[in-house]
Amino acid sequence: MTEITNLGVAALRDGISGGDFTAVEAAEAFNAAVAGASALNAFIVATPDHALESARKVDADRAAGKALGKMAGVPIGMKDLFATKGVQTTAASHILEGFTPEYESTVSQKLWEAGAGMLGKLNLDQFAMGSSNETSYFGNVISPWRRSDGGNTPLAPGGSSGGSSAAVAARLCPAATGTDTGGSIRQPAAFTGITGIKPTYGRCSRWGIVAFASSLDQAGPMARDVRDCAIMLEAMAGFDPKDSTSLDLPVPEWEAGLNADLKGKKVGIPREYRVDGLDADVARSWDEGIAWLKDAGAEVVDISLPHTKYALPAYYIVAPAEASSNLARYDGVRYGLRDLPDGANLQDMYAATRAAGFGAEVKRRILIGTYVLSAGFYDAYYTQAQKVRTLISHDFKNAFADVDVILAPTTPTAAFGLGEMVSDPLAMYLNDVFAVPASLAGLPAMSVPAGLNREGLPLGLQIVGRPFDEQGVLNAGLAIEQRAGFTARPGKWW
């Protein structure tokens, strides 16, 4: 039998329910992989007992002939942005260090109810702000990938869900949760050769997820392939009265609906994404994707999304504005860190706690956010950005009157070296240039591995779909996956 850690979600689920191995054996194999990979710094804390305990329950249920859940016996990694009862939840920030929630996020609760167990809490960019994992208070994650030229430059796993992407790519877990506000599932998935889907805004409850920009934040699965994402998304999604923006719709059977035959489907290729100076390997990979979708039976047409170039600036107004409001709650009173200098009054304590607790990028976002929301600048920035957001939604609406899905690259380049971009926030923000339009419009979007660039690093292709049409996105993703034949994986050096 292949090593258990080489198996994905579907194979683990089927192997356990078919009696090929036990859930405890699976949990033990992945716990050992996590314990042996501290060099990647993918986990902030490991929770081997959580994984074992839920595995024991699955094995007992199976022995008793009880029905098993969709994720029965599958141990997963949990991005440390999800509140987990009794397990430290930090958002990778010093200000939350030591915070142990009394409650479980809706998404994690649903995953446990589906039979999954938790291997640990995964590292991320602080408060999910970043594209490289370098803003984490707990040190950056290192991608398991290395360039093929033999250099050992440590590479970024992407961000903010960089612990999730690195852990899945390194076979430390078969799947992990991610969250995506402006690309944080798709960009790290693309950088590490894995698959990730951000569903339609509202599909997964935000309750119990540390808030970044509430009108954009969406949870989703990161896994090895499209089927595994479909299975895990079914377990994560669903109406939740505790989240006022939760979609009150039934959860489709996405796994059962998988179908890579795209006959009768139309795929749009947005011309505005073919920017001047587009990386040659990225352009080639996009062309290959177009050919694969044609081969799957789809008709491919050129489309225009005319306001694309305003998406990134609008995102970097809307997201910091919401973040500055959401992060006001970290005041040294209610959660985690409290810095109370001698003789300090309440105001001094707020200031000292926030100065010591937030990292530099988080402070930058709070400053930008409060600035664009301040009297006198509100209309010039925030209102204007909201108008742009509406125009971007209209662009997509017009395009989807004609096409079923849109195909584009996920990122403008493959993974970069750690430290290469930290001193230039604008260059870092450009990583998300292809990801944020779908976020602003609340659309389902996924990244699938498409091939390797000339340095031997993974590239992802992005599929964006109509609201609620995760199935269309997954199916186009499957058509690409079947043709890309992406089997590359990082050699083990950790």
Contact 132, 158 (CB under 8 A): yes
Closer to ligand GLN by CB, 217 or 404: give it: 217
Closer to ligand GLN by CB, 178 or 472: give it: 178
Residue 117, SS3? strand
Cβ 346 to ligand GLN, closest distance in Å? 31
Interface residue with ligand GLN among 77, 157, 182, 359 (CB under 6 A) is 182
- Residue with smallest beta-carbon separation from ligand GLN: 184
- 160 catalytic, yes or no? yes
Q: Which residues pair with 447 in a beta bridge?
A: 196, 462
Out of 54, 93, 105, 160, which one is annotated catalytic? Answer: 160
Interface residue with ligand GLN among 23, 78, 129, 314 (CB under 6 A) is 129
How far apart (Å, rounded) are the C-alpha atoms in residues 259 and 398? Answer: 26
Classify residue 435 by burial, with Cβ atoms within 10 Å: 0-12, 13-18, 19+: buried
| Site for ligand GLN contains 434 (CB under 6 A) | no
Amino acid at 289: G
Question: Which residue in 167, 148, 126, 168 sits closest to 39, CA to CA?
Answer: 167
Contact 26, 19 (CB under 8 A): no
Contact 176, 164 (CB under 8 A): yes
Interface residue with ligand GLN among 8, 117, 183, 458 (CB under 6 A) is 183
The region of 176-184, 292-300, 366-374, 386-394 touching ligand GLN under the rule CB under 6 A is 176-184
Classify residue 411 by burial, with Cβ atoms within 10 Å: 0-12, 13-18, 19+: buried
Interface residue with ligand GLN among 47, 181, 192, 453 (CB under 6 A) is 181
The region of 182-190, 240-248, 296-304, 476-484 touching ligand GLN under the rule CB under 6 A is 182-190
Interface residue with ligand GLN among 226, 319, 440, 448 (CB under 6 A) is 319
- 244 catalytic, yes or no? no
How far apart (Å, rounded) are the C-alpha atoms in residues 417 and 279? Answer: 16
How far apart (Å, rounded) are the C-alpha atoms in residues 293 and 295? Answer: 5
- 184 catalytic, yes or no? yes
| Site for ligand GLN contains 131 (CB under 6 A) | yes
The region of 8-16, 112-120, 174-182, 272-280 touching ligand GLN under the rule CB under 6 A is 174-182
Question: Which residue in 188, 278, 130, 260 sits closest to 458, CA to CA?
Answer: 188
| Site for ligand GLN contains 80 (CB under 6 A) | no
| Site for ligand GLN contains 362 (CB under 6 A) | no
Count, residues in the chain? 494
Residues near ligand GLN (CB under 6 A) are: 128-131, 159-160, 180-184, 212, 319, 432
Residues annotated as catalytic (active site), given as ranges: 79, 160, 184
